[in-house]
């Protein structure tokens, strides 16, 4: 058998400890599939004395993670520090400059700096692998970049954040509001103490930017992703969506149009029998549509020590076997320069909830505004009457352009009978 592949791991949190645990527990399986043993030879983390539930005996310790890039006993650097910049980026750049391949789970760094890191990897002739950066243990990177390499992908969509999916699932099941369920999720460890990265859609947008780059063969463009989170979703909206036959999910969606690539993250209504609508709890799922393969869906746990470590080790096995693919599926010179399409150009159906004074003529005023902006109504939902009091009115539109819908909303919000900012959600096919 060939000499071991020696790995330096930077970051010994949940995932880093999981990688060490997996490599020890499944050493025989990993060696058989890699064609040689894969061993951790050096590590770096902030606290030497913390008990991580895994033995570090015999491993070289580096206080500075960047030192892993120059360690002569390290063949591959695994970056599990996290963060778009700082030590994580410095380590990856140093490793690539030193001609060492890198495995990372760092979606933020790849989304923000992936284009230049890919060029650095290509110039050095080494791999930059990141299966663990999107959807945890679901092998979606390999599926899109390699398994579907012969297809033109027209659309990729998914549930890309388990925290948001867990919150929305429980809101639907229990009829409770966002703040209550978020508090429960924090106590149970499904949400961070500062959950903004997840609930404001940034985490999902990082992942979508990576998937869109792979799917459409162009440099990663995080800044072009339209991002909305779930803070504004109420139990009332989830209940109304259910009456209309929909479920609300935080979706990441990207598709190719004649004008370029549209990429967006937002909460949307899905028909309750749509495959993505049935993905609940902390699970993630990704749907791709290719011209020859058709529609495919992958589903599984999107985070956690085991699933993410599984993806990291899959990349290490590829490197041990000498298998490497360009970061974004093709050499830099072969990538597309397709432009990004702004959200204003989006065309679709919309859910609109208004809180209005129940008096004659209000609906006629709202309908007149929609008519003036070319927005056609498909249906309206109002439960009960309360003359002179506040009532909820839900409108569902036919397909219309986002810019027209936004213009109509501005005028509707200014009506004196509309007592709260309107809630607008898009309706997607899933």
Residues recognised as catalytic: 207
Contact predicate 160/302, CB 8 Å: yes
3-state secondary structure (DSSP) of residue 69: helix
* CB neighbours of residue 363 within 10 Å: 16
Contact predicate 252/140, CB 8 Å: no
- Write out the H or E segment, with its range, that includes residue 153: strand 153-159
Closest CA to 10 of 95, 111, 132: 95
N- to C-terminal Cα distance for the chain? 47
Strand pairing category for 260-271 and 246-257: antiparallel
What radius of gyration do the chain's Cα atoms show? 24
Chain mean position to CA 264: 11
Spatial neighbors of 421 by CB under 8 A, at least 6 apart, are 413
Give the C-alpha separation, 289 to 135, whole Å: 18
Residues in the chain, how many? 430
Q: What is the DSSP string of 220-272?
A: --GGG-EE--STT--HHHHHHHHHTTEEEEEEEEEEEETTEEEEEEEEEEEET
Contact predicate 229/163, CB 8 Å: no
Residue 212 buriedness (CB in 10 A; 0-12 / 13-18 / 19+): buried
Strand pairing category for 5-10 and 38-44: parallel
Tell whether the torsion through CA atoms of 92, 94, 96 and 102 is positive or negative.
negative
Give the C-alpha separation, 299 to 286, whole Å: 7
């Amino acid at each position: 058998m060939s000499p071991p592949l020696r790995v330096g791991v930077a970051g010994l949190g949940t995932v880093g400890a999981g990688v060490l645990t997996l490599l020890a527990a499944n050493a025989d399986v990993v060696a058989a599939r890699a064609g040689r043993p894969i061993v951790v030879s050096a590590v770096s983390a902030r606290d030497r004395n913390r008990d991580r539930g895994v033995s570090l005996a015999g491993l070289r310790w580096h206080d500075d993670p960047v030192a892993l890039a120059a360690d002569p006993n390290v063949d591959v650097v695994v970056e599990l520090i996290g963060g778009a910049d700082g030590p994580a980026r410095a380590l990856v750049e140093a490793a690539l400059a030193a001609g060492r391949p890198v495995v990372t789970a760092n979606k933020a760094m790849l989304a923000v700096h992936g284009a230049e890191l890919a060029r650095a990897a290509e110039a050095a002739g080494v791999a930059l692998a990141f299966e663990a950066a999107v959807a945890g243990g679901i092998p979606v990177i390999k599926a899109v970049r390699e398994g579907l390499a012969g297809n033109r992908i027209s659309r990729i969509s998914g549930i890309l954040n388990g925290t948001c999916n867990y919150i929305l699932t429980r809101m639907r099941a229990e009829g409770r509001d966002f703040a209550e369920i978020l508090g429960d999720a924090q106590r149970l460890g499904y949400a961070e103490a500062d959950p903004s990265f997840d609930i404001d859609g940034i985490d999902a947008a990082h992942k979508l930017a990576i998937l869109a780059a792979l799917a459409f063969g162009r440099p990663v463009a995080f800044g072009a992703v339209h991002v909305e989170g779930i803070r504004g979703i109420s139990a009332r909206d989830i209940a109304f969506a259910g009456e209309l036959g929909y479920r609300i999910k935080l979706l990441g969606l990207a598709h190719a149009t004649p004008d370029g690539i549209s990429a967006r993250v937002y909460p949307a209504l899905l028909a309750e029998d749509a495959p993505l609508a049935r993905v609940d709890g902390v699970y993630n799922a990704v749907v791709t549509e290719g011209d020859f393969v058709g529609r495919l869906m992958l589903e599984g746990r999107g985070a956690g020590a085991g699933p993410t470590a599984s993806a990291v080790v899959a990349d290490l096995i590829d490197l041990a076997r000498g298998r490497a693919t360009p970061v974004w599926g093709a050499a830099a010179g072969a990538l597309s320069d397709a432009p990004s399409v702004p959200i204003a150009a989006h065309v679709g159906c919309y859910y609109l909830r208004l809180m209005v004074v129940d008096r004659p003529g209000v609906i006629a005023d709202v309908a007149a505004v929609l008519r003036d902006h070319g927005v056609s109504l498909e249906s309206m939902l109002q439960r009960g009457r309360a003359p002179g009091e506040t009532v909820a009115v839900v409108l569902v539109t036919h397909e219309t352009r986002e810019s027209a819908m936004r213009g109509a909303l501005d005028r509707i919000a200014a009506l004196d009978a509309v007592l709260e900012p309107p809630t607008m959600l898009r309706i997607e096919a899933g």
